[in-house]
Amino acid sequence: MTKLSMGSHPYLLGFEQLERLLERSAKTGNEGYPPFNIEQTSENSYRITLAVAGFAEDNLAITLEDRQLVIRGRQGEDGDGRIFLHRGIAARQFQRSFVLAEGVEVGEAVMENGLLHVDLSRAEPERVIQQISIKRG
């Protein structure tokens, strides 16, 4: 028995790019840091929330790269001569990637109490019905 991929299924035409997006999202290298939530805030809107305690707004970068939302964080090392007896809060960098469907747009990003909120919205697609004429051959 052969395994059919989504792009080669006979009833799904033109979905090769969706299959590539799924493969790319599986390879994003997202570990477990920072933890995040994704919530649906209405029928056509979403909110991604990342726990970014210790990061300032200028330590974070949010970019949209070919329908992929990328959130990066980089903290500078403390070089002010402090001596830690225990260091449980590490200054580490991260990158989180989210593949967005066509029509999903990134709204505003807000920092609040150590949480970064990124709002997304999806435009309702127009329903198009097209009549195809049949010609005699």
Residue 118 or residue 18, greater confidence: 118
Instruction: Identify the CATH number of the domain in which residue 101 sits.
Output: 2.60.40.790
Dihedral sign, Cα of residue 58, residue 73, residue 51, residue 26: positive
Segment 51-98, tens digit of pLDDT: 998 899 999 999 998 889 999 999 876 667 888 899 887 778 999 999
Residue 75 covered by a domain: yes
pLDDT at 27: 62
For residue 111, the model assigns a pLDDT of 97
How many other β-carbons are positioned within 10 Å of the β-carbon of residue 107?
A: 13
| Residue 14: domain span | 1-29
**Domain count of the fold of the chain:** 2
Q: Are strands 68-73 and 45-51 parallel, antiparallel or unpaired?
A: unpaired
Contacts of 136 (CB under 8 A, 6+ apart): none
Six token digits for residue 118? 């990124």
Structure tokens at 68: 């992929």
